[in-house]
Amino acid sequence: MSVLPKQSPTQSEKKADNLNSASNRHYKYLVFIGRFQPFHMGHKAVVDEALKRAENVIMLIGSANMPRSLRNPFTVEERSQMIKGAYSDEDAARIHCVGLDDALYNDTRWLQYVQASIKTVTHDLSEDIALIGHSKDSSSYYLSLFPTWESISVPNYKNLSATPIREGYLMGATPTGERTPVSTREVMDAFKQTEDYQHLHEEAWFVDDYMKQWRDAPYPPTFMTADALVVQSGHILLVERRGMPGRGLWALPGGFVDQKETLLDACIRELAEETKLDVPASVLYGSRHSQHTFDDPYRSSRGRTITHAFYFKLKNDPKGLPKVQGGDDAAKAFWLPLAELDSKKMFEDHYAIITKMVGL
């Protein structure tokens, strides 16, 4: 009887074997990166799978050290309560929640933040580490940024998204048990009794009314703004916002571009209106150092808003810093030492704009 020779596996068979092997692997650490604003049942489905597949689960909680806003209403501590509170004490002990700072417009710095945050738990990046998550949209592209770590993709649970849950809650709705764990609803109920919630609730209705102006447009509008980044003698010129959104937060002076002006002209006009900066426009035009466009799709709660920032470096003056005074949309204008910049006090992505352009 003849024996057929053993055939080599095809590429498809090899791929299937690799997938089966990966699906059966058990890891020491699985890392789940997200903002969890708030933590919902879709997130929990990923953590449930991670607990089955790993000894430890590291939750990197993004947008840490940011002021409360419509996009980021909950602190790292509150989101940690939502996450760990959804599990038994035994399982919660295996979940490590670590705050992760944003680094908009700088992927290299963000990758460094991720590595450093993971290392606070593992102490060694050569440990058995893999990423877990679900590829729901462009915000999950991070799964491909770490070629040295395996990546596990989990199906999106019932197509849940935190955005409608968060937006409804800030407008006054109560989240349901179908979409959020009890621990999340407990944190949200407690936060609803605070002044911070009332401020965001008021701002949510303000933004809703603002956006109603454009609901009859044939397509969603895109807005263009210009911002001024002025530095002299190690100080940066900032304003405190007078109105919503972001009332009370620090911001770069700037605003919307008029129909018949250039970006640079709009920037210098807004700078004069909001700060009364005691520097001639001719000096400002001559002090322009660099410029950059910032277009993160989620940078503004008011809708799609692209800004063009101009960096002005003023010469040191023995007489001191030029006089400034708040005006127009600014409650006040002030010079701040660069060493005292605080991401927790900054409006929208202005901290990221400053660090990108100044090189901090």
pLDDT for 215: 85
What is the tens place of the pLDDT at every residue in 24-74? 789 999 999 999 999 999 999 999 999 999 999 999 999 999 999 999 999
Distance, in Å, from the CA atom of 139 to the CA atom of 300, rounded to the nearest integer, reads 16
pLDDT for 148: 87
| Residue 137 and residue 33 in one domain | yes
| Residue 181 and residue 231 in one domain | no
Q: Quickly state the pLDDT bin for 137 (edges 50, 70, 90).
A: low
Over residues 65-92, mean pLDDT: 98
pLDDT for 143: 66
pLDDT for 266: 97
Q: Quickly state the pLDDT bin for 140 (edges 50, 70, 90).
A: low
Is 255 in a helix, a strand, or coil? strand
What is the tens place of the pLDDT at every residue in 284-314? 999 999 999 999 999 999 999 999 999 999 9
What is the tens place of the pLDDT at every residue in 263-282? 999 999 999 999 999 999 99
Is 233 in a helix, a strand, or coil? coil
Distance, in Å, from the CA atom of 87 to the CA atom of 259, rounded to the nearest integer, reads 55
pLDDT for 14: 43
DSSP string, 128-145: SEEEEE---SGGGGGGGS
User: Which residue in 144, 124, 138, 131 sits closest to 53, CA to CA?
Assistant: 131
- Tell me, yes or no, whether 214 lies in a domain: no
User: Which residue in 51, 58, 79, 44 sits closest to 156, CA to CA?
Assistant: 44
pTM comes to 0.88
Tell me whether strands 305-313 and 288-294 are parallel, antiparallel or unpaired: antiparallel
Q: Fill in the DSSP letter of residue 217.
A: S
Task: Identify the domain containing residue 314 by its residue range.
Answer: 223-358
Q: Please say whether the beta carbons of 249 and 67 come within 8 A.
A: yes
- Tell me, yes or no, whether 142 lies in a domain: yes
| Residue 100 and residue 239 in one domain | no
- Locate 306 and state its tokens: 């692209």
CA angle 158, 74, 190 (to 5 degrees): 95
Distance, in Å, from the CA atom of 12 to the CA atom of 22, rounded to the nearest integer, reads 15
- Tell me, yes or no, whether 21 lies in a domain: no
| Residue 350 and residue 231 in one domain | yes
pLDDT for 136: 56
Domain boundary among 192, 211, 238: 192
| Residue 161 and residue 77 in one domain | yes
Over residues 223-247, mean pLDDT: 96
- Tell me, yes or no, whether 210 lies in a domain: no
pLDDT for 141: 67
How many structural domains are present in the chain? 2
Q: Please say whether the beta carbons of 333 and 324 come within 8 A.
A: yes
Distance, in Å, from the CA atom of 129 to the CA atom of 96, rounded to the nearest integer, reads 14
Domain boundary among 139, 173, 192: 192
Residue 100 pLDDT greater than 70, yes or no: yes
pLDDT for 38: 98
Distance, in Å, from the CA atom of 227 to the CA atom of 356, rounded to the nearest integer, reads 14
**Which helix (H) or strand (E) segment is 259 a member of?**
none
Q: Quickly state the pLDDT bin for 135 (edges 50, 70, 90).
A: low
| Residue 39 and residue 129 in one domain | yes
- Tell me, yes or no, whether 163 lies in a domain: yes
Q: Which bin fits 5, alpha (ψ -120 to 50), beta or left (φ > 0)?
A: beta
- Tell me, yes or no, whether 216 lies in a domain: no
Residue 231 pLDDT greater than 80, yes or no: yes
| Residue 245 and residue 326 in one domain | yes
- Looking at per-residue pLDDT, the higher value among 251 and 9 belongs to 251
| Residue 65 and residue 188 in one domain | yes
- Tell me, yes or no, whether 217 lies in a domain: no
pLDDT for 176: 81
Which phi and psi (to 5°) does residue 152 adopt?
-110, 125
CA quadruple 81, 86, 88, 93: dihedral sign:
negative
Domain boundary among 172, 192, 212: 192
What is the tens place of the pLDDT at every residue in 197-225? 999 999 999 999 998 988 888 988 999 99
Q: Which residues contact 189 (CB under 8 A, 6 or more apart)?
A: none
Q: What is the CATH number of the domain that holds 73?
A: 3.40.50.620
User: Which residue in 174, 60, 69 sits closest to 117, CA to CA?
Assistant: 60
Q: What is the CATH number of the domain that holds 321?
A: 3.90.79.10
- How many Å separate Cα 254 from the centre of its chain? 21
| Residue 174 and residue 237 in one domain | no
Residue 1 pLDDT greater than 80, yes or no: no
Residue 245 pLDDT greater than 80, yes or no: yes
| Residue 228 and residue 112 in one domain | no
Is 21 in a helix, a strand, or coil? helix
| Residue 165 and residue 232 in one domain | no
DSSP string, 31-75: EEEE--TT--HHHHHHHHHHHHHEEEEEEEEEEET----SS--S-
| Residue 50 and residue 177 in one domain | yes
Over residues 5-12, mean pLDDT: 47
- Tell me, yes or no, whether 207 lies in a domain: no
Average pLDDT, the chain: 91
